Structure 1
Amino acid sequence: MDQSNVTLERMRSFVRVAERGNLSAVAREMNIGQSSITRHLRELESALGVALLSRTTRRVTLTEEGRRYYAHAVQILRLVEQAGEELRSDAAGTVRVSCTAALGVRHVARLIFAFQDRHPGISVDLSLTDERIDLVREGVDIALRLGPLADSSLKLRPLGVSRRVLVAAPGYLARHGRPKVPGDLARLDAIRMSNIAGADVLVLTGPEVVRVPVTGRLRVDHGLAALEACLAGRGFAPAHLWLVDDLLADGRLEVILPGYTPPPVALNMLIVPERAGVARIRLLVDFLAREMRGVPGIGGPPLTTR
């Protein structure tokens, strides 16, 4: 093995290709040509004397030797990054964050602005999506997620729960009447989520737990669209308090059946374990964990999500 040709640059290219499985995506991410990525991989394999990747026309996968080398390479690159950061007076670099879209628009973006004001050397790439992405493959360091989580090797930091209420526009309620008991919801139009299983049955917690079948002419696959439908008087919907607190305060929406609420939803932060010790990532994780407690409706003990 020619160790002089095993450079950090070639190792970084290999690690990102191993994680993303796509040379062109890594080239865009690293802002270099795809031919440079291909050359890095070829030179690294030549220096090691083994094939690390198996290439087809559609994707790139790791060989058995590649899997073993990847585990070591990730550790080496993490140690190199941390060693460099310990010499700097302030953390610097980029943190990649993924967040549930509506929560990101309403609150997380604002918190990131405040974080960057405190740490001007830190750049943040914020991706807003409700898709459950593979953090490692997409190069994401931190993800904020609502709802149950699948088992994974990611580091989990529970942030608490997100409380919800039933809301509707005053005009809609004036036309159709305000429900007095959960059964009254059956005669109203429910704005249902097409991407959530069981949205045709509303579970409410009050003096007792009730399950109310609901119907309506509108289904949407995004919380912000459901909010707009409520404001337009198309029906009622369950909503996170952080999404509607200002609209409730100015009277554009009303809480219906205040004695009955949909169950709260777990809010968690996921962190790629190999990145958790990086100073800038640790700073943002601690900042978000602290500041998210001030978001309306976020609080209470964490729910069991696994």
Structure 2
Amino acid sequence: MTPTGKAHPTIERDVTEELARHLLRTQHADLADLPLVRVGTGWDNVLWRLGDDLALRLPVRASSAPLVAYEHAALPVLAPRLPVDVPVPVRAGHPDDRYPWPWSVVPWFDGRPAYAQPVAERSAWAEDLAAVLVALHRPAPPDAPPNAVRGVPIAPRRPALVERLDRLALPEVDRVLARFDDLAAAPDHTGPAVWVHGDPHPANVLVARGRLRAVIDWGDVTSGDPASDLATAWLTFDADGRAAFRARVDAGARWDEATWRRAQAWALHFSVVLGMHPVEYPHLAEIGRHGLAQALDG
């Protein structure tokens, strides 16, 4: 995938160390003198490590602000049922005259994102990630956070896929669309709407000492079809890891073949999305390259 020249998602409000300390001093004064180390800026949030055990997550654009509320609502409910650590917010931050959106203080988990681990080594925890999704994918209440682009039917995403493919110099365009059309023709999900993480790709999975450590970034949490989460089988693993992942999911959830076909279609879609800004987010583009190859061939 090659650069398109199109700007990466707009950072509407960055958070400097001075601003982060201002927010802490005025809202959580007992934390204001802890060391602050900037970790980085993702699509939606800037992350500052706070002392040894905490972190600040602050939206960088208005469209990301509602995701904070979704995490605050859903994670305390979900965390007790999940067999892995998740960043349940420990403090809530509020807008003020210098920063316009809600924000969070969350636990800091030692580990590295899964994308930094060689793909072949990820098979060691493929069953563990599958167990997390089996535990997560249970019927959700009607007031689960809404999300128009996760947990929904995949076939209507085709125009967005075509638009993105038009902006990328991919030699596989025809093959991607043909494969997508075949997979997305699978019947839609007709069972209960289940809890959905929304984005369990390798940048949102942490590993430590070669094992699964935590699943983070729950801003896209919602309810619906689990297929969009199961796309991680192609985004995260190779064929061996994917086989272990699917075997564990099938043992615990027994989703039908149509669900897995929709999941593979989602993997194609997500792979293209992740590749849209290779200069600004090279690690996401690499996840996209890997996922595309796996979803086309697997």
Which TM class, normalised by the smaller chain length?
under 0.3
TM-score by length of 2: 0.28
Is the strand fraction higher in 1 or 2? 1
Larger Rg: 1
TM-score by length of 1: 0.27
